[in-house]
Amino acid sequence: MVLLIALWQIASMNVGRNLIPSPLATFHTGTAMLADGRLVGALGASLSIYLTGLFLAIVIAIPLGIVMGGIRLLGKTLEVYVYALSATPRVAFIPLIIALLGLGFEAKITVVLLGAIMPILINTYAGVLAVDTQLIEMARSVGLSRTGIFVRIVLPGSVPFIIVGLRLGATIGLINTVVAELYTAVTGLGGLLAIYGNSFRMEEYFVVVLTLAMIGVVVTETLRLLESRLSGWKTAG
């Protein structure tokens, strides 16, 4: 961290503070933005969009991925469409989303949902497919029920894949939150990025960028903690 701040200070001195503000100037600006409520209001707006869209993606993607992996015919039927949709840039859907849902909260959530859902769905599906079929057959041979097989074999075996999907989905969802705020009604942290970037108010711009980076770090560390907790459950299962 100290090294990064030192490099930041050196870059500010060499490139010019009108392009790269110093760490101290950025800190003072961030404090002022917190005090007058600009940063808090934008952060709250962005987090509500981001967390709602990510939650919906998780609720939809994980059960659907498990069903696709458990029912092979359904998985083979849907995977072509899933991979095709995953390969399509989400920005391509924004005009359609705006036409259908307008520029409000629902449109922004939908953009985040479309970005986050595919990595979670694909990795959950892959995790179920990767479960050792011999273990499943052995469990059946000793009379373990379908629920028992799912809880003790399928779900624990899928956890590493699901966590990877959650990490990717959370990252893409955060990016899409900013994209949604830029393309629809200019609000939240994405709106501040547009305002400060277009007016070359680089101290405020850096504050917003660092805020987004901190959100990403918090989400990543939360998922890492979840993974460590679930790995213990997987071992016990």
Closest to 195 in 3D by CA, of 13, 17, 38: 38
Closest to 49 in 3D by CA, of 168, 224, 215: 215
Number of domains the chain contains: 1
Residue 96 within any structural domain of the chain: yes
Residue 53 within any structural domain of the chain: yes
Residue 90 within any structural domain of the chain: yes
Supply the CATH number for residue 151's domain: 1.10.3720.10
Across the chain, what does the average pLDDT equal?
86
**What is this structure's pTM?**
0.85
Residue 212 within any structural domain of the chain: yes
Please report which confidence band the pLDDT of residue 231 belongs to, taking 50, 70 and 90 as the band edges.
low
Helix axes of 155-183 and 38-70: crossing angle, nearest 10 degrees: 140
Q: In whole angstroms, what is the distance from residue 169 CA to residue 179 CA? A: 15
What pLDDT score does 139 carry?
75
What pLDDT score does 232 carry?
60
The answer to whether the beta carbons of residues 21 and 203 sit under 8 Å apart is yes
Q: Is the pLDDT of residue 17 over 70?
A: no
Percent of the chain with pLDDT over 90: 36
Residue 116 within any structural domain of the chain: yes
Residue 10 within any structural domain of the chain: no
Query: Higher-confidence residue: 18 or 112?
Result: 112
Please report which confidence band the pLDDT of residue 108 belongs to, taking 50, 70 and 90 as the band edges.
very high
Residue 2 within any structural domain of the chain: no
Q: 182 lies in which domain range?
A: 37-236
Percent of the chain with pLDDT over 70: 96
By the 10 Å C-beta count (0-12 exposed, 13-18 middle, 19+ buried), 15 is classed as: exposed
Across 35-49, 143-157, 217-231, least confident range: 143-157
Residue 28 within any structural domain of the chain: no
